[in-house]
Structure formats: structure tokens, C-alpha cells
Structure 1
Amino acid sequence: MEVTVSSIVTSIASVTFLTWAWKVVNWVWLRLKQLEKWLREQGFKGNPYKLLFGGTKEMIPMMKEARSKPIDPYSDDIVPQFLPFHHHCVNLHGKDYFQWLGPTPRLTITDPKLIKDLTMKLFKSQG
């Protein structure tokens, strides 16, 4: 069996490509699905991660539809008009939930005790 320069170059190129491909798959999919699993284990509900766009594709039509309707001047409930996706997620998942803005999770927490605990832990970790 003869080892040639071209076979060595091909092997190095293949290993480099496979390493790069694994890093991209990990960055675009595996790491985010693991983060989603961790958020669910913490007790948060939310939409599943969708490749690259997250919930953005659902959010934009909801915003366009809400903006096309006139504002009711006699209603105190302005959230469906100005934050339709947030309103939809609260109705679907509860007041503490996560949503995906592209590959970034956005965590919404409304429980004051949980917010206090998180900020106290954040300040302790910083100094």
C-alpha cells in the first residue's frame, strides 16, 4: 500500500471538514437543543427551538396582524395590540416562559421572588 501526497492531503482535508461540520452542527443545533432541555428541566415552558429563526417566523405575522387592527380607545388591555407574541406565549405557556429570537433564548419571568433570587445570585457571582 503506497502512501501518496494526494492521499495525505485528502485525509487532512476530510478531517478538517468533518471537524468544522461538527462544530457548526453543535453551534446551530445541539447546543441550543441542550439549552432548551435545561430550561424545561428548570420548570419553564416555551416553544421548541427551530433552526436559525426560532420563533421569529411566528412573531412577525402576529405583529403585522395586530398593527393592522385599530386600537380600541375604551379598552385597558393594550398588550394584545402592542405585544401580540408575548400575549400569545403567556396564554399558551403561563407567565414564566421562554421564547426563541433566532438562536437566542429569551426568558420571561414575572414571579417577583424568582426575580429577586436571580438578581441576588447574579450580584453574588459578580463580586
Structure 2
Amino acid sequence: MEAAWVNILMLILILALIWVWKKFNSLWLTPKRLEKILREQGLRGSPYRFKVGDTKETLKMQMQAMSKPMNLFSNDIGPRVSPYDHYIVNKHGKNSFIWNGQKPRVTLTDPELIKDVFNKIYDFGKPNMGPNIRSLIPGLAMHEGEKWSMHRKIINPAFNLEK
């Protein structure tokens, strides 16, 4: 009878260790591995912070930007609409990344890289969003299949350097 309890406790301990390892892997090892891969590809960005990433800084800068009045005679709305993205692009360059929790978000502004992303639709997955958000944010980033292909043909001239 006592051997059965020992076996049950060992099984519970093993399951708990597996759960702890999976959590550690998803919360620390995977983001650090992704950060290393992004840096090897030449992208720069802020280092990964456990669990929250850059969320605190993003919210802090957003609140600061909204607390100040906007200059009505300026067309520079980047620092007002998305201050943290503006800060990161100025600090780390036009091709950089930030952290949304445990997931990196890559910012690309080079037309050739954007063209590569749009052409490799099966390598770069679309964001998984609910139907409410999909109806609020229509556009090329949300379309797939035939609808994506049609919209891609419409915007294709914008990626030609001659134009």
C-alpha cells in the first residue's frame, strides 16, 4: 500500500516538473531564443523582459503623449499616435523589434523586406484575431487567399522603386 502512494507521489512530482519546464520554456527560453535569432538576422531591439516585454514602457509613453496637447500646424503625428514605435525606430533603426509580452513584433520599413514578406504568404502567418477585430481592421494584413491576392495586385505598384 505504501509503495502505491510513493508511485502516485512520484507521478505527481514528474507531472509538476513537466508543467514547470513547459512554463519556463514558454516564458523565458523561447523568447530568448527568438531574440537571439532576430539579432543574428541583423535586427536590433530592446532586450526581452520576463513576461511583460515592452508593455509597461509602451503604455507609459502612450499616456505621456496623450497628456500633452498636439501641435495643430504639424503633420508629424507619429510620436502622438505611436510614441513607443517612434522611439524604437529612432533608437534601433528602421528595421527593429519590440516585445508584446513573450512575442516579438518586428517593424520593417525597407520596401524590399516588406515586398519579401508580402510575397511569402505561407512563411509569414497572419495574426490570429477574433471575428470582431477582423471586421474592425479590414485590410491586406487580415486578408487571405483570393481576396489577399486581389488586394496585393492593387498595391503592387507602390513597391516599385521607379514610382
Structure 1 residue 28: deviation in Å?
Answer: 1.1
Q: What per-residue deviation string (whole Å, max 9, x for no partner) do you get for residues 73-112 of structure 1?
A: 1222111111110111011101111111112211110000
After the TM superposition, list the runs of 4 or more consecutive aligned residues in structure 1 that deviate by more than 4 angstroms. 123-127
Query: Which residue does 1:57 correspond to in 2?
Result: 56
Matched, 1:116 2:115: yes
Cα deviations by residue, 1:25-51 (Å, 9 ceiling, x for unpaired)? 111111111011111111111111111
- CA 1:125–1:74 in structure 2 vs 1: closer, same or farther (change >3 Å)? closer
| Residue 97 of structure 2: aligned partner | 98
TM-score, length of structure 1 as denominator length: 0.90
Quote how far apart the aligned CAs of 1:122 are: 2.4
How much does 1:118 deviate?
A: 2.2
Identity %: 43
Q: Write the distance in 1 (CA, Å) between the matches of 2:124 and 2:8.
A: 48
Number of matched residues? 125
Return 5+ residue gaps in structure 2 as ranges. Answer: 126-144, 146-163
- Summarize the alignment of residues 1-127 of structure 1 with structure 2, pairs less than 5 Å apart: 4-122=3-121
Cα deviation for residue 124 of structure 1 reads 8.0
8 A contact 2:51–2:101 mirrored in 1:
yes
Q: 1:125 offset after TM fit, Å?
A: 8.6
What's the secondary structure of 1:122's corresponding residue? coil
Q: Secondary structure at the match of 2:74?
A: coil
CA separation of 1:62 and 1:111: change in aligned 2, threshold 3 A: same
Between the aligned partners of 1:125 and 1:59, the Cα distance in structure 2 is: 25
Q: Which has the higher contact order (CA 8 A, sep 6+)?
A: 1
Residue 125 and residue 106 in structure 1: after superposition, are their counterparts in 2 closer, same or farther (change >3 A)?
Answer: closer
Q: Distance in 2 between matches of 1:58 and 1:125?
A: 27
Q: CA RMSD in A?
A: 2.0
2:154 matched to which residue of 1? none
